Amino acid sequence: MLVDIESLVNAVKSYKGVKRKLIIGELARIISKDCKFEDAGWFQVDDKYVLITVDGIAEDLVIADPELSGFYCVLVNVNDVVAKGGKPLAFSAVVASSSSDIRRKITLGIKRALESYGLRCAKMHTNPDTSTNGVSGTVVGITENPIPSSTAQSGDKLIIAIDTNGKFGDKRWIRTFDTVSGLNKEEILKRIEAMLELSKSQLVNAAKDISMPGVIGTVAMLCESSQKGAVIDVEKIPKPSGADLTNWLLAYPSFGFIVTTDDKRATKVLEIFREKGYQAEITGEITSTSEVSMRYGGEKRTVFDIKRDRIFG
């Protein structure tokens, strides 16, 4: 179905996956006035950097599909570490529900994901005395060269890489695009290797995994972290054949990354992503403005101005 650019802009700006990020800044600045809103944090130990991230799953997904929420608790934390160029090492989680059935299904989903990723479970905790249903997890990883979200440079090429061989699964307002379930462990690790190789070879300036806000929202988050703007050519964004464009722009793909790099390194970056099973394209560029804009159907519109439309609040 054909859609106009105004409809796309409105869909992205009004999407709950984008709007729910607004509270992050208020809380983050209690801890640090200089928060960069990274996917994962890191600290140096000898000649390596230890990466650590924590993420919780929206209760709507926990209620709609407890087992999938457990699986995604592993997936989203792994992606946060991988987006920084890190090799995931271990996982831990808190499972919270007064329902034994929900707790069991969440844990089964975690187990399935750990087996899929070949990841060790270091610690689990349960909370049965709660009025809500939730699962939150942590992944620890390691790298020699962390890739920040906050170091995109004006003039950088914007590269979007997504594994487009999957299936959609709407869970209430959450739009999942599952590409992991159909892969064996070797193929999953192959996808992860792409970001590790980019980190090792220092081929990109900034990176972020495509998450709950969808592809456009994630570009806006990277731009806010870097205090830059971007122009995104929507028609160049990798997309499954026949997928509805609006749904795709709001989807959460199992494997999807956004990186920025200069002209000289862009070809090699595309080559690495494609070798590892991604559809990857140069889909725009980073600008010195504060505007995150889309080009589509011969028209251009600003989606966010990060000076006034802050994603992180």
The reply to whether 97 and 214 lie within a common domain is no
Domain boundary, last residue among 143, 177, 206? 143
Strand intervals (E) in 153-222? 157-162, 167-171, 174-178, 206-209
Residue 253 inside a domain? The answer is yes
Mean pLDDT, the chain, whole residue set = 95
The tally of domains found in the chain comes to 2
Domain that holds residue 124: 39-143
The reply to whether 69 and 56 lie within a common domain is yes
The reply to whether 46 and 20 lie within a common domain is no
Per-residue pLDDT at 31 exceeds 60: yes
Q: Give the pLDDT mean for 252-265.
A: 97
The reply to whether 120 and 231 lie within a common domain is no
**C-alpha to C-alpha distance for 209 and 81, rounded to whole angstroms:** 9
Residue 312 inside a domain? The answer is no
The reply to whether 71 and 48 lie within a common domain is yes
Provide the pLDDT for residue 243. 94
The CATH number that applies at residue 80 is 3.30.1330.10
Q: Give the pLDDT mean for 63-88.
A: 97
The reply to whether 24 and 77 lie within a common domain is no
Per-residue pLDDT at 1 exceeds 60: no
At residue 148, φ and ψ (nearest 5 deg) are -70, 165
Chain centroid to Cα 232, Å, comes to 17
Helical pair 185-200 and 66-83, crossing angle rounded to 10 deg? 30
CB 76 within 8 A of CB 55: yes
The reply to whether 21 and 52 lie within a common domain is no
Burial of 100 (0-12, 13-18, 19+ CB in 10 A): exposed
Kindly report, residue by residue over 154-181, the tens digit of the pLDDT: 999 999 999 999 999 877 788 889 999 8
Number of H helices, E strands in the chain: 10, 15
Q: 3-state DSSP call for residue 225? A: helix
Provide the pLDDT for residue 157. 98
In this structure, is the dihedral angle defined by the CA atoms of residues 187, 188, 189 and 195, taken in order, positive or negative? Answer: positive
- pTM across the whole model: 0.95
The CATH number that applies at residue 188 is 3.90.650.10
The reply to whether 133 and 222 lie within a common domain is no
Kindly report, residue by residue over 76-129, the tens digit of the pLDDT: 999 999 999 999 999 999 999 999 999 999 999 999 999 999 999 999 999 999
The reply to whether 138 and 153 lie within a common domain is no
Kindly report, residue by residue over 193-228, the tens digit of the pLDDT: 999 999 999 999 999 999 999 999 999 999 999 999
Sequence-distant (6+) residues with CB within 8 A of 162 are: 210, 215, 238, 253, 255, 256, 257, 278, 279, 280
The reply to whether 136 and 172 lie within a common domain is no
Domain boundary, last residue among 143, 174, 193? 143
Chain centroid to Cα 75, Å, comes to 10
Residue 33 inside a domain? The answer is no
The reply to whether 290 and 157 lie within a common domain is yes
Q: 3-state DSSP call for residue 13? A: helix
CB 199 within 8 A of CB 143: yes
**C-alpha to C-alpha distance for 233 and 35, rounded to whole angstroms:** 29
Total residue length of the chain: 313
Provide the pLDDT for residue 206. 98
The reply to whether 10 and 158 lie within a common domain is yes
Domain boundary, last residue among 119, 143, 167? 143
Kindly report, residue by residue over 126-158, the tens digit of the pLDDT: 999 999 999 999 999 999 999 999 999 999 999
